Chain A
């Protein structure tokens, strides 16, 4: 059996639907990981000891164990305690929290490297520490880490293929299903790879746009 790419258009709708799922899950998880990252970072640095502890557990869980296991735990494990999440929601939460922990590490470092004078100036004007963090320190820290967070988001896109194991018909699983019907793994895996590549490009473009929009010195 030789190669025949002419078969692709026939299953294009399945592949594109898979793309749509991948994009949707990636975007939702990216937003969750970004907001979660800021939240985790502020808690890690400024929350009282007692509040920090459960977050340290979350951090350990999401950094120290395989993402695959985390997805199983959220999707299959939580059912036992009565939390029955749709597979794509479980996927978004798993990916989102996993990368939130990584983003948090970046943001923590960035917050600590914001000049001490910034907090002082804000406090001197009469802002509380929380207000100063929200308006002055965190926005500067976040601006500084947009490029490395962008790298994490590319990793997130690639790892989104893992949610196929809990049955979300994203790009990789869609390709697999088509292959199951056509026995054309090379063509359709390549097709899926091309789709990932295009989504990747779009994400890089988006990142550049965000960077330009909020860069400190225009």
Chain B
């Protein structure tokens, strides 16, 4: 499946034809189909043969591998994808895919977009889950997918073994995105929080939003602007869409009347807009929003 470029082959080639070094390097970076990335590597494991794919996928060609699903990854500022196979003597093969994104927030975003609260979660990386022949987790900027077409208990154990090794190898940051801690914990449904990088609740002017779902069916959200002005621009765009005459510099708490998403109470604080979805009439939701705003102000 994979073609390998051996380091000594490259060195021999470079030694023999030094004049072509720059041409060669230029070509491989330009076309991006030949060389593997220079920063990401896979750990070697005793008893396992490691085959690292020479092909590294970027936003320009991810589509070649995973077709339309690439659009979701690219929307979370996907950087590159590195592939490898681990094979042991018993004949088990574990395929490893390392999707690198530009930040922990974006890795969490794509991870959480595919995560279901019903999965069997395991402590690997920041969080992971295990299913038959599949183990996915995220750590730092990486969303890691491991899978095997083989089955059995030993395969499940192998998945965990390789996940631990990969997490230790690439996981330099095992902290959840900081803003998640601002959501009040009481009544919050586990593993139902998300990060949406763009087109939040169907609007292209709303971006960078964390959401958490609560008992009672409502959601709280935090939209984070790069600075206060950018956040206010988002609010103004929203108010323009809803045709509401509100000056967000003068009023910090109001309800947006959205013909598509319903009434959305919001509070503006610093660089954040916090609000409620599907719970405008809920006193409990409003209480939680106040707690959220308090936490954001700390």
A and B: partners? no
